[in-house]
Amino acid sequence: MRANQQERPSVGIPQRIGDDLRCILAPNPSPMTFWGTNTYVLGHRQLAVIDPGPDNEAHLAAILDALDPGQSISHILVTHAHLDHSPLAARLSRETGAPVLAFGDAQAGRSATMQALAAGGDVGGGEGVDADFTPDLLLCDGERVTGDGWSLTALWTPGHFGNHLCFDTGRDLFSGDLVMGWASSLVSPPDGDLTQFMASCARLRSRAPARLLPGHGAPVADPVARLDWLIAHRKGREVAILNALADGPQTAWALATRLYTDTPHTLLPAAARNVLAHLIDLHGRALVTAEGTLHPATRFRLSHIPGRSEPAQKSPIPPLSGPMGS
Ligand SMILES: [Zn+2]
């Protein structure tokens, strides 16, 4: 884990983090959600709420209590359909009349590979999915949402989740669970797709935002450095997996226990999901072969590359870190 320098904010108390921008911490801390979910409130009089959070009475009250006299909520924006981000959207919409805007339901945005895996019913995963999530309005990639004194561009950024959107003000970028400062994100197939994740990270990097406002944890003040670290971290993990497979075929679980030596045992299942995501990505790039269908218990081996008789060249294994694996 990378140390997070800033102090944990108080639950349910709006923190001012910019002009017409506040953050309210939801009461759902855990190893996967860090302090809890960040609900952002943007605007001067007619407000956008980004990620209402879990279905929690106290958090609903905290969001409504944050409204000053003369303020109302005009838009409810959701980064992705995980239970710690989206379920309160429907109730907040009923209370306020504001529509819920998102890329799509919990299955929207999956790659063809992940659709096939999900249809096979064998890949596991599905942790924390808000299967009932139903947005009122669907946002396309690049679509602009404009309110009272604020404007956001929706960026379809799958990887952590197929229907994941980031929202870019041109200065701040609400990065959901794609990029956070305290941990590398969980990528668990079929909702998580590492091939998409790497492409989405590269895309955010090319926009060079001034600040990332993640779904969990403190703002990220140096987004390009964080994205460079994240991309290098994933590439390092890929090298470590290929090196380990040079010793013979292995399952995602066996690789996770071998590579995630610093990870608490309770988080090894999440680490194994991240390894599986890597293996599926490597499989898609024909660098590894599956001994059977793509499945958590399947053994993978290095692909035979014509003209290469030696196993893959061993490279130095970088340090492995991060509570959620990667
Ligand atoms: Zn999530």
pLDDT tens digits for range 53-106: 999 999 999 999 999 999 999 999 999 999 999 999 999 999 999 999 999 999
Q: Is 77 strand, coil or helix?
A: strand
CA 162, CA 181: separation in Å to the nearest integer?
21
Mean pLDDT of 118-140: 92
Q: What gap in Å lies between CA 102 and CA 307, rounded to an integer? A: 48
Q: CA-based Rg of the chain, rounded to a whole angstrom?
A: 20
Give me ligand 1 centre to Cα 200, in Å. 15
Considering only CA atoms, which of 24, 129, 10 is closest in space to residue 73? 24
Q: How far does residue 33's CA lie from ligand 1's centre (Å)?
A: 8
Element (H, E) at 25: strand 21-25
Taking the centre of ligand 1 as the mean of its atom positions, its distance from the CA of residue 314, in whole angstroms, is 34
Using alpha carbons, list the distances in angstroms from residue 146 to 74, 204, 299, 303, 312.
10, 21, 49, 49, 51
- Domains of the chain and CATH, by start: 15-229 (3.60.15.10)
Quote the Cα angle for 33-4-205, to 5°: 80
Q: What are phi and psi of 167, to 5 degrees?
A: -125, 125
Q: Which of 69-83, 84-98, 155-169, 297-311 has the lowest mean pLDDT?
A: 297-311
Of the chain, the percentage scoring pLDDT greater than 90 comes to 79
- The full DSSP string for 259-319 is H-TTS-GGGHHHHHHHHHHHHHHHHHTTSEEESSSS-TT--EEEPPPTT--SPPPP-PPPP
* pLDDT tens string 96-110: 999 999 999 999 999
- Expressed in angstroms and rounded, the spacing between residue 130 Cα and the centre of ligand 1 is 10
pTM across the whole model: 0.91
Mean pLDDT score, 44-49:
97
Distance 43 CA to ligand 1 centre (A): 24
Residue 77 Cα to ligand 1 midpoint, Å, equals 14
Rounded distance between C-alpha atoms, residue 263 and residue 261, angstroms: 6
**pLDDT tens digits, residue range 224-249?**
999 999 999 999 999 999 999 999 99
The C-alpha atoms of residue 133 and residue 302 are separated, in whole angstroms, by: 39
CA of 141 to the centre of ligand 1 (A): 19
In residues, how long is the chain?
Answer: 326
Rounded to the nearest whole angstrom, what is the distance from the C-alpha of residue 38 to the centroid of ligand 1? 12
How many whole angstroms from 284 Cα to the centroid of ligand 1? 24
Average pLDDT of the chain, as a whole number:
91
Going from the Cα of 73 to the center of ligand 1, the distance in angstroms, rounded, reads: 24
β-sheet bridge partners, residue 167? 154, 174
Distance 177 CA to ligand 1 centre (A): 5
**DSSP conformation class of 216:** S
Centre of ligand 1 to C-alpha 313, Å, is: 35
Query: What pLDDT sits at residue 1?
Result: 38
- What pLDDT score does 321 carry? 40
Query: How remote is the CA of residue 187 from the centroid of ligand 1, in Å?
Result: 9
CA of 110 to the centre of ligand 1 (A): 15
Q: For residue 243, which of 181, 175, 320, 172 has the smallest C-alpha distance?
A: 320
Cα–ligand 1 centroid distance for 311 (angstroms): 37
Q: What is the pLDDT of residues 20-44, one digit of tens each?
A: 999 999 999 998 899 999 999 999 9
Distance 82 CA to ligand 1 centre (A): 5
Give me the residues paired with residue 25 across strands. 11, 38
* pLDDT at residue 304, rounded to an integer: 77
Ligand 1 centroid, distance to 54 Cα (angstroms): 11
The Cα 235–Cα 271 span in angstroms is 15
CA atoms of 138 and 66, how far apart (whole Å): 27
| 161 C-alpha to ligand 1 centroid (Å) | 7
Structure confidence by residue, pLDDT tens digits, 192-229:
999 999 999 999 999 999 999 999 999 999 999 999 99
| Tokens found for residue 4 | 């997070």
CA distance 295 to 251: 9
How far from 194 is each of 113, 234, 244, CA to CA, in Å?
11, 9, 19
Residue 310 has pLDDT above 50, yes or no: no
Report the distance separating Cα 184 and Cα 177, nearest Å. 9
CA of 163 to the centre of ligand 1 (A): 10
Rounded mean pLDDT, 130-141: 98
